[in-house]
Structure 1
Amino acid sequence: MRDRLALLRLFRDAGPALTAALVLVVLIDAVVPAGIAVAVAELVRSSGLTALGPVLLMSGVMLAGQVAQTFRWPVQRLAADRIDGAFRTRVAALVMAVPTLDVAERQDVQNLVKTATVEPREWVDKTSGDGAVSLLESVARAFGLIASAAVLAAWSWWLVPATVVPAVLLRYVHSRQWVRHFRIWMAGVLYHRRWRYWGEVATSPAAGRELRVFGAAEWLLRHHIDDVHRHLIPVWSDDRVVLRRLWLALVLPLAATTAVFTWVALGTAAGDGTVALLTAVLTAGWSVFGLAIQTDDVIALEGARPVIRAATRLDHLIRPCAPATASPSRATSRTRPPLVRFTQVRFAYEGASTPVVDGLDLDIMPGELLALVGLNGAGKSTLTKLLAGLYRPQAGTITADGRDIANTAGWQSGLGVVFQDFVKYPLSLRDNIAVGAEDPELVVAAARDAGLDGVASRLPRGYDTPLSPGRRGGVDLSGGQWQQVALARALHASRAGARILVLDEPTAHLDVRTEHELFRRLSGITEGISVVLISHRLFTVRQADRIALLSGGRIAELGSHDELMAAGGHYAAMYRLQAQRFVQGFDDRLDGGGVG
């Protein structure tokens, strides 16, 4: 009942007008059988000119039923889509309300999000809108059952239980069969997903190359068949059980209607009723069983129940972690960069046996260019995510001008970040840069700062060109061009008020000459902004005011390029090794494709 009430409350998202229209069409559709029974009785009772009224009544009932049937599906779909859209928006807003990623990245939270925002691909996949609409249909069918029962009561009250009880029992048995079948199917859904995955791999052009070269087609098809059998053998077994029990679906209505109809027919023959009333009873009695056997709403409700429960569970998990007030926009961000201080910071990812950073001390001075270097896995990207407030340290503090950033309102709005695994949105170039902002001049300026203006001029629709080959008029970019888009996104934030710029491998896909030109421009653009730069190219970071070498979860070396080279430590050894490879002509960029 709790799940059903939750589904009914979702109709607030459909709106009063659409909800009223849906209620009207499903109610009309449900009571049409009772209306036809009454109209048929009146038609049989009438003769000559007196038949005009019953004929018009019959025509009106049938026309109303036809209109309801015509509009029912589009109204249902529109209501379900509105409910689903609002429901998924609330789930997304709930997850986005938490400024850190530690909750959102948890596997149980991710599973709940997938369940709550399911996109139907199989008959068992139902959305919140599907469940809400089906629940309303089941309520309407109950009204239709009552209307047909009222026609039966016109003969005698005992016809109602004699007909309705077997019909309700039939619905119960039929519903239980479908629910069991649903649960058997869901019990093997993991195998079903694996079977689908093998099928997608088999037809993928990229995977097809390797499968043919390595002769792995038979291996893949064997997995494909094994997984589908593991899933469907229990389903097929239940299908056979259902087929063997179909006699019950036949015997219940047949026995009940035979007994009732025979009794009423004999009574009519004996003069206890009219032929017209007999006709109405026969029509209404059969419609009771017709309404009872419709159990599609049972599957929709069973499939929507996990969706509703997942959203409720998400709310309980996430809401306590969300701040009481929203972060201010960039327009209210600070006008100068703060002094950021890491003090004995320790952080380990969930499930990891050792921390990524442990006892880390580091100051980021206002307006300086600080470079972070170190071997893979040293914690450079993790440190930037801690700086961005995406994770909270398990020990130690991160402060800005002496205040913990976790308690600093709008901290994240004061940063512009290029993440190493930046997102390629399948949107226009403008939206990829602005990510929701509305100032077109800032977009053009940020693109120019990132060296992207030349690419924009060659796109078919300029800044309005979709960066997705799957969209009409869309194109794809090369790895280097996409990286410039990500950089422009961060520079757009700095032009909009961000005072700290975090660049995590912002030029990994660019050649050395393009990278050098880019950083030459950035030196003037980022004046008065604190910049934290991560780059595997030490030739680039030597321009930094200070360079911090991470090792063992701590700052192992800290100083300018000249100071670290003079110290002759790990940084100096790494720099000399890279310089030797560069002289030999080694180009370490990752690139390909794009707009020429």
Structure 2
Amino acid sequence: MKSAVRDRLRLLALLRAAGPVLLASLCCQILLAGLVPPATAVALAQLLGRVQEVRAGSLAAAAVPLLFFAGVLLLGHGLEAVRDPLAYAVQARIDGRHRAGVARLAATSHTIDALERPEVQRLIRLARADPENWTERTPGAGAVAQLAEFGRAVTLLSSSVVLAAYAWWLIPLLVLPALLYQQLNRRDSMRWYRAWRGNSGAALRAGLWYDAIVSPSEGKDIRLFGLGGWALDRSEEHIHTLYDPVFAVARHQLRSQWRQLAVLLVPMTVAFLAVSLAAARGQRSLAVAMAVLSAGAAVYRAFGGEPRDMTGGIASLHAADRLRALLEPSARTSAPEGTDAAPGAVPVRFEEVGFTYPGTSRQVLDGLDLEIRPGELVAIVGLNGAGKSTLIKLLSGLYEPDRGRITAGGVDIAALGPVAWRRRIAVVFQDFVRYHLSAAENVALGNAAVPVDRAAVREAARDAGLTKVVERLPDGWDTPLARTRTGGVDLSGGQWQQVVLARALYAVRTGARLLVLDEPTAHLDVRTEFEVFERLAAHKGDASVVLISHRLSTVRRADRIVLLEGGRVVESGTHERLVAAGGRYAEMFAIQADRFNRGYDDRIEEDELI
């Protein structure tokens, strides 16, 4: 009970986000709308009473109560007209602030391990308050519904006053059954709610199959492999899983509707007969009888409302609470920000670092020791699963080591704080993001914390070999790199890789001192790749560079090559030294050299689209 009251108070506290003017307007609307039903009853009684009193030809005397009655009706219609716009505006402000908080929580999470968990993704979808079906509601809708409860309370109290003026016994006769009817109705509503929400996963899976059926991408497989009927059967199976329990609840409720109807009709019939008989016998006037009947109907309307609004809004708040507990910085990652990682490049060291991905048991890194010296170009090579990409994610602070530490200039990067550390590092991931922004903005995202430096953007593009691509764009640097944007174009995979490389080089030109490249030229041919690394070596300045590449012909230009195997460094040295040693690196290089001599081109490339 206490938790329910606390949740209701939380909903009301959200109303502050609407602002004083908008909130005051909605409160006035709800208060006045709550007084309209009993006011209508009183105005109707006065009008009928005056009409009964006046003689023929003197109906002008009824003008005042008629105007009063008309004014109440007009006020009711006016309040009804402004209700939805006011409620929508208040709800939009509340939900906007709530969604911004959820987005900020997800975006500022220091690591990404929690974001990869299905439970966290489910909580994000529920907490972001973006309803996808009728059972889901937003905190704003819950807050407005909670405020509307006070309006219905005003209607109940004021209507009870009108009833009490006639006979006090009408209040328990009508109010108690109305309360019981509300509880029965809400119980049935919540059964619907739970039946649907209990199988929400089936709805998601059915939607995924439907999207696959109508999608051009999956449509190729569906047609070529004859999967159409099979996909429809799977979708239908999930739909039955979703709707069969809901239909069972519906059938049960249809069979029990007579009970709720009896709870409502029996006391209403008793009250209305008693009032009507009293009026017929002359014990009460017709005007009083009409006022009582109208007020009695208003009592039942006061017990309306949609419980799903508040239930769904509270569920969204609870999801946000659980999400906050999972994503808020831990004690280790919440170091005070603002401490810089030291001016210029500094040595970075992995010291006995071990790491296992959450939910798995295999150690990806097992006691890794590695030093990245200032100004050095270090190449990391190894077979798939050796831990190369994991090393980069740890170096970027996207994951925390299970044991050991990573230091910069002798200071643990966790102590520096993720924001301060990431100002010193620029990373090009293999699965880079293609932002639907202009060419200039795509490059300048390399350091979004500083004002855009167009000169640095052009220089970074030159170093990445992107200049010729930009010159061919319709609007140059201002061309959106997406066909979905007006005047936009798309790029080939290799051209996008040059954009992302320019993004990282822009970060170096604006303060980063450690450049990390994960397969940065997989979409480029060997000649273009050679030119890119020529420029990279010439323009990296005093920045350190960590390079991961599957092409050993590229990494041979590195100052030092490190071979990972089993989560550890097993070989380290220059290309010449490692080849002369005749170890694992020499074996891998010989295999690739033979493939290249036989004309094998291992780049990953799509058709050029601009």
TM value normalised by structure 2: 0.92
Kindly indicate whether the alpha-carbon contact (under 8 Å) linking 2:142 and 2:309 is maintained by their aligned counterparts in 1. yes
1:480 aligns with 2:494: yes
Distance 1:270 1:23 in 2: 43
1:245 aligns with 2:269: no
Q: State the Cα distance separating 1:282 from its structure 2 match.
A: 1.1
1:317 aligns with 2:326: yes
1:214 aligns with 2:225: yes
Q: For residue 434 of structure 1, what is the aligned residue in structure 2? A: 444
Q: State the Cα distance separating 1:462 from its structure 2 match.
A: 4.1
Q: State the Cα distance separating 1:271 from its structure 2 match.
A: 3.8
Distance 2:34 2:604 in 1: 63
Q: For residue 566 of structure 1, what is the aligned residue in structure 2? A: 580
CA 1:454–1:44 in structure 2 vs 1: closer, same or farther (change >3 Å)? farther
Distance 1:68 1:449 in 2: 65
Distance 1:281 1:430 in 2: 73
Q: For residue 24 of structure 2, what is the aligned residue in structure 1? A: 20
Q: For residue 404 of structure 1, what is the aligned residue in structure 2? A: 412
Kindly indicate whether the alpha-carbon contact (under 8 Å) linking 2:376 and 2:544 is maintained by their aligned counterparts in 1. yes
1:231 aligns with 2:242: yes
Q: For residue 470 of structure 1, what is the aligned residue in structure 2? A: 484
Q: Following superposition of structure 1 onto structure 2, how do residues 195-214 of structure 1 map, counting pairs within 5 Å?
A: 195-214=206-225
Consecutive unaligned residues of structure 1, counting only runs of 5 or more, are: none
Q: State the Cα distance separating 1:502 from its structure 2 match.
A: 0.7
Q: Following superposition of structure 1 onto structure 2, how do residues 508-523 of structure 1 map, counting pairs within 5 Å?
A: 508-523=522-537
Kindly indicate whether the alpha-carbon contact (under 8 Å) linking 1:333 and 1:497 is maintained by their aligned counterparts in 2. no
Q: For residue 416 of structure 1, what is the aligned residue in structure 2? A: 426
Aligned residues: 592
Kindly indicate whether the alpha-carbon contact (under 8 Å) linking 1:175 and 1:295 is maintained by their aligned counterparts in 2. no
Kindly indicate whether the alpha-carbon contact (under 8 Å) linking 1:385 and 1:391 is maintained by their aligned counterparts in 2. yes
Distance 1:88 1:400 in 2: 36
CA 1:229–1:488 in structure 2 vs 1: closer, same or farther (change >3 Å)? same
The 3-state SS of whatever aligns with 1:367 is coil
Q: Following superposition of structure 1 onto structure 2, how do residues 243-322 of structure 1 map, counting pairs within 5 Å?
A: 243-292=254-303, 294-296=304-306, 298-319=307-328, 321=330
Distance 2:242 2:345 in 1: 58
Kindly indicate whether the alpha-carbon contact (under 8 Å) linking 2:341 and 2:409 is maintained by their aligned counterparts in 1. no
1:384 aligns with 2:388: no
Kindly indicate whether the alpha-carbon contact (under 8 Å) linking 2:31 and 2:151 is maintained by their aligned counterparts in 1. yes
Consecutive unaligned residues of structure 2, counting only runs of 5 or more, are: 52-58
CA 1:428–1:37 in structure 2 vs 1: closer, same or farther (change >3 Å)? farther
Please tell me the residue identity of whatever aligns with 1:15: G
Kindly indicate whether the alpha-carbon contact (under 8 Å) linking 2:342 and 2:409 is maintained by their aligned counterparts in 1. no
CA 1:470–1:63 in structure 2 vs 1: closer, same or farther (change >3 Å)? farther
Q: State the Cα distance separating 1:251 from its structure 2 match.
A: 2.0
Q: 1:131 aligns with which of 128, 139, 142?
A: 142
Please tell me the residue identity of whatever aligns with 1:301: M
Q: For residue 527 of structure 1, what is the aligned residue in structure 2? A: 541
Q: 2:353 aligns with which of 329, 345, 366?
A: 345
Please tell me the residue identity of whatever aligns with 2:606: G
Q: State the Cα distance separating 1:501 from its structure 2 match.
A: 0.7
Distance 1:463 1:7 in 2: 47
Q: For residue 9 of structure 2, what is the aligned residue in structure 1? A: 5
1:43 aligns with 2:43: no
1:99 aligns with 2:103: no
Percent of aligned pairs with the same amino acid: 46
Distance 1:362 1:68 in 2: 71
Q: For residue 363 of structure 2, what is the aligned residue in structure 1? A: 355
Distance 1:470 1:61 in 2: 53
Q: Following superposition of structure 1 onto structure 2, how do residues 68-87 of structure 1 map, counting pairs within 5 Å?
A: 68-87=79-98
TM value normalised by structure 1: 0.94
The 3-state SS of whatever aligns with 1:358 is strand
Distance 2:409 2:94 in 1: 46
Kindly indicate whether the alpha-carbon contact (under 8 Å) linking 1:327 and 1:413 is maintained by their aligned counterparts in 2. no
Q: Following superposition of structure 1 onto structure 2, how do residues 49-64 of structure 1 map, counting pairs within 5 Å?
A: 49-64=60-75
The list of structure 1 runs, each at least 4 consecutive aligned residues, that deviate by more than 4 angstroms after superposition, is 322-326
1:552 aligns with 2:566: yes
CA 1:401–1:440 in structure 2 vs 1: closer, same or farther (change >3 Å)? closer
Kindly indicate whether the alpha-carbon contact (under 8 Å) linking 2:369 and 2:568 is maintained by their aligned counterparts in 1. yes
The 3-state SS of whatever aligns with 2:352 is strand
Deviations 1:206-240 (A, max 9, x none): 22221121112111111111111121111111111
Considering only aligned residues, what root-mean-square deviation do their CA atoms show, in Å? Answer: 2.2
Kindly indicate whether the alpha-carbon contact (under 8 Å) linking 2:335 and 2:415 is maintained by their aligned counterparts in 1. no
CA 1:325–1:398 in structure 2 vs 1: closer, same or farther (change >3 Å)? closer
Q: 2:199 aligns with which of 188, 191, 212?
A: 188
Kindly indicate whether the alpha-carbon contact (under 8 Å) linking 1:334 and 1:497 is maintained by their aligned counterparts in 2. no
Distance 1:553 1:282 in 2: 82
Please tell me the residue identity of whatever aligns with 1:532: V
